[in-house]
A and B are shown apart, each in its own frame.
Chain A
């Protein structure tokens, strides 16, 4: 069964600190992996997308890594801000056409002043 597992489920950090969120997947075949940020009551917003051959991708203070051999990805947030408080969802695409996504349950991040 295709699965995407994220850890931790929730995380509280102080403003200005860094944090790393983890994503393990058993999805096969693998097409690409995406990280989304979802504010409460809003739809997910794309942060990064990585294909099989990419190991790292940055978007401002967000850096995603991918190890396709171990089927692991991480999202590193640098110098956190209060506005980073949200759910971060790891999503794996398992068809070449990019139509079939498997979502992780998300990590709920809270940044405190």
Chain B
């Protein structure tokens, strides 16, 4: 598989529940990024990893959000005590260094009811 894979594609959860999303990047890409996109808007940066190190986190990433990338391979994004405002598309992207382009996954659509 040469693409970025995200699971699940869709998640509906009740407010207050915890959810976890998974991203499997392209295998030779050492950089991995998480973005959040609400309807009609462009993606907003959440965080990125270089290998297993989390190098940057947006202020959007409140203490209810945590991301990990153990062993520098796949990554998980967990949202604790979900709120309705968390409803969005969560996109993962990966790339090599330099100016190489980003490859995005198809996203996980989260709906908090």
Whether, in the assembled complex, A34 has its beta carbon less than 8 Å from a beta carbon of chain B, the answer is yes
Mark B residues whose CB is within 8 Å of A: 4, 6, 31, 33, 35, 40-45, 48, 55-56, 91, 93, 95, 97-107, 109
Are B48 and A105 within 8 A (Cβ)?
no
Q: How many residue pairs, one in A and one in B, have C-beta atoms under 8 Å apart?
A: 60
By beta carbon, the residue of chain B nearest A91 is B42
What is the bound-complex CA distance between A4 and B34, given in angstroms?
19
Residues on the B chain within 8 Å of A98, using CB: 95, 97-100
Are B97 and A97 within 8 A (Cβ)?
yes
Contact of B42 (CB < 8 Å), options: A41, A43, A100, A104: A104
Please report the total number of A residues contacting B with Cβ < 8 Å: 25
Whether, in the assembled complex, A101 has its beta carbon less than 8 Å from a beta carbon of chain B, the answer is yes
Report A5-46 residues with CB < 8 Å from chain B CB: 31-32, 34, 36, 41-46
